[in-house]
Amino acid sequence: MSRARLIRAPALGEIPIRPMTEIDLIEVGEIERITGLSVWGEEAYRAEFGRENSIMFVTVFPSRETAAEMRVSGFIVARVAGDEVHINNIAVREQARGRGLGSALLSAALGAAKKAHARVAVLEVRAGNRAAHALYLRHGFVIVGRRRNYYKSPPEDAILMTAAL
């Protein structure tokens, strides 16, 4: 159990979630790099802003180092296509994990997808990513398949998961 998980999680309603804006992109790019996600890069996120079927949320908190300065602590990017929403990226800064932020971001994205008439959520996750597996299982996802060597650097299988909305 990480140190962050010992901090009591605030109620979900207390976690501020808002749509991602261009101003957030530097921090989103930073989180992407330091959390080891497959890197999309700033331009790819910028392109998502132009799509009406994109769901892009951030959660913003004062940083622990400088209490006054608000920091993007996590983000989620998903895209609705027909009755399906694909969860593309979700990440929370390491020092902010275990406080319900990932859960709040995922709930917000799934809620927005449902409003946009999505009926099923789909995603791929690294086979060894236990924290993400647990998060998704908690939100009703089930494992439906495996893609061999789907990821590069380092190579790893992907687990495919879906959830009915």
Ligand X SMILES: CC(C)(COP(=O)(O)OP(=O)(O)OC[C@H]1O[C@@H](n2cnc3c(N)ncnc32)[C@H](O)[C@@H]1OP(=O)(O)O)[C@@H](O)C(=O)NCCC(=O)NCCS
How far is Cα of residue 121 from the mean position of the Cα atoms in its chain?
13
How far apart, in whole angstroms, are the C-alpha atoms of residue 99 and residue 5? 7
Q: Which residue, 72 or 92, has its beta carbon nearer to ligand X?
A: 92
Cβ at position 130, least distance to ligand X in Å: 6
Cβ at position 43, least distance to ligand X in Å: 20
Closest among 51, 71, 49 to 59, alpha carbons compared: 71
Altogether, the residues listed in the chain come to a count of 165
| Interface with ligand X, residue 135, by CB under 6 A | yes
Q: Which residue, 78 or 91, has its beta carbon nearer to ligand X?
A: 91
| Interface with ligand X, residue 95, by CB under 6 A | no
Q: Which residue in the set 24, 45, 100, 158 belongs to the binding site for ligand X (CB under 6 A)?
A: 100
Query: Taking CB under 6 A as the criterion, which residues in 106-125 touch ligand X?
Result: 125
Closest among 118, 122, 50, 57 to 86, alpha carbons compared: 122
How far apart, in whole angstroms, are the C-alpha atoms of residue 40 and residue 99? 26
Q: Which residue's structure tokens are 């390491």? A: 94
| Interface with ligand X, residue 71, by CB under 6 A | no
**Residues engaged in binding ligand X (CB under 6 A):** 2, 35, 37, 90-92, 97-103, 125, 129-132, 134-135, 138
